[in-house]
């Protein structure tokens, strides 16, 4: 099958709109909306290739870039968030992605589709020439989006860096993807493995099955990790089941055992309203998050 290069629109816009509609309607607070966007930034930057052309990934998401596909719900939504801010800045707060979707609906509708290679030019024609540059750089191109620059335009900043102690999973690089039987979490690098990871004995290629009895296939990777963090204390015994393939190509279940260990890490920085933001930034933020 031929995949469209515009998953940023089909999936990303849908995901962004699901959250943005809630804050616009007052169903969630602006702080909650910003927290959700920060979670997407963290996930996108830590678990996917942030320098990969999004249109290229979309076209080849069934084969070469299959592990990157679920980034459509992270970076795909964030592309639309930044596009929304860009449009609102150019229009003095009067025009955003909701308006763009309405206008695209009028232009194409149910009985007329668009050609993949003309969509960016069409959107720029409907809106502003600067939007074509945005697409070329951050969607077609491989330049990571400078999120802090976009948030600064609406008077939002990242909180100051802080340290905290957190249970370690061994500091190995993990790749999350969808397999035929559900989510798969695979160890892809042990280069930065810490003492806990060495005690467990991770190997590249290990596929995590369970963490202290919590089955990843049943609850999903994020819930399994969260359960480990909330139900385990430093010094507790840890058992992680993995599927491991040996040099002969045979796969078997191996139980890795160790003692839970805390490490000092950078506390996740939160998006907060800048108390020193100017009136222009505050007005634009209000238009973006409340429509007023």
Alpha helices in the chain (DSSP H): 7, 14-24, 30-47, 54-59, 75-90, 97-107, 119-126, 129-135, 147-153, 195-200, 216-219, 221-231, 279-290
* 7-160+269-290: CATH number: 1.10.390
Q: Distance between CA atoms of 20 and 32, rounded to whole angstroms? A: 11
Please, which pLDDT band fits residue 2 given cuts at 50, 70 and 90? low
Q: pLDDT tens across 145-201, in order?
A: 999 999 999 999 988 878 999 999 999 999 888 888 788 999 999 999 999 999 999
pLDDT bin (cut points 50, 70, 90) of residue 211 is: very high
pLDDT of 268 higher than 90: no
pLDDT tens, residue by residue, 81-125 = 999 999 999 999 999 999 999 998 888 766 666 777 788 999 999
How sure is the predictor about 32, in pLDDT bands with cuts at 50, 70 and 90? Answer: very high
Per the prediction, the chain carries an average pLDDT of 92
pTM given for the model: 0.69
pLDDT for residue 110: 65
pLDDT at residue 117 in the model: 77
Highest mean pLDDT among 15-24, 46-55, 116-125: 15-24
Q: Predicted confidence band at 265 (pLDDT cuts at 50, 70, 90)?
A: confident
**What ranges do the domains of the chain cover?**
7-160+269-290, 163-266
Assigned CATH for 163-266: 2.30.42.10
Contact, 87 vs 100, CB < 8 A?
yes
Lowest mean per-residue pLDDT among 39-43, 80-84, 207-211: 39-43
What 8-state DSSP symbol labels residue 14?
H
What DSSP designation does 137 have? I
Taking each helix axis from N to C end, the angle separating 30-47 and 75-90, rounded to the nearest 10 degrees, works out to 130
d(CA 141, CA 118): 16
């Amino acid at each position: 099958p031929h995949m469209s290069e515009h998953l940023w629109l089909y999936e990303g816009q849908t995901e962004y709109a699901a959250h943005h509609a809630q804050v616009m309607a007052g169903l969630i607070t602006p702080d909650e909306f910003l927290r959700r966007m920060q979670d997407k930034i963290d996930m996108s930057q830590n678990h996917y290739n942030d320098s990969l052309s999004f249109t290229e990934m979309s076209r080849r998401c069934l084969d070469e870039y299959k592990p990157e596909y679920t980034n459509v719900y992270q970076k795909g939504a964030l592309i639309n968030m930044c596009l929304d801010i860009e449009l609102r800045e150019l229009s003095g707060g009067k025009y955003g992605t909701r308006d763009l979707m309405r206008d695209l609906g009028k232009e194409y509708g149910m009985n007329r589709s668009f050609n993949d290679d003309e969509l960016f030019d069409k959107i720029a024609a409907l809106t502003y020439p600067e939007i074509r540059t945005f697409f070329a750089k951050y969607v077609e191109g491989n330049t990571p989006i400078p999120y802090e620059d976009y948030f600064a335009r609406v008077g939002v900043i990242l909180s100051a860096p802080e340290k905290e102690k957190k249970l370690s999973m061994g500091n190995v690089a993990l790749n999350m993807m969808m397999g035929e039987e559900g989510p798969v979490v695979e160890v892809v690098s042990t280069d930065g493995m810490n003492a806990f990871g060495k005690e467990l004995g991770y190997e590249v290629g290990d596929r995590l099955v369970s963490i202290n009895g919590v089955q990843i296939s049943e609850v999903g990777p994020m819930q399994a990790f969260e359960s480990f963090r909330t139900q385990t204390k430093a010094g507790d015994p840890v058992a992680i089941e993995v599927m491991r393939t040996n040099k002969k190509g045979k796969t078997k279940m191996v139980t890795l055992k160790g003692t839970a260990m805390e490490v000092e890490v950078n506390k996740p920085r939160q998006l907060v309203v800048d108390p020193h933001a100017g009136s222009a930034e505050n007005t634009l933020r209000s238009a973006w998050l409340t429509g007023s």
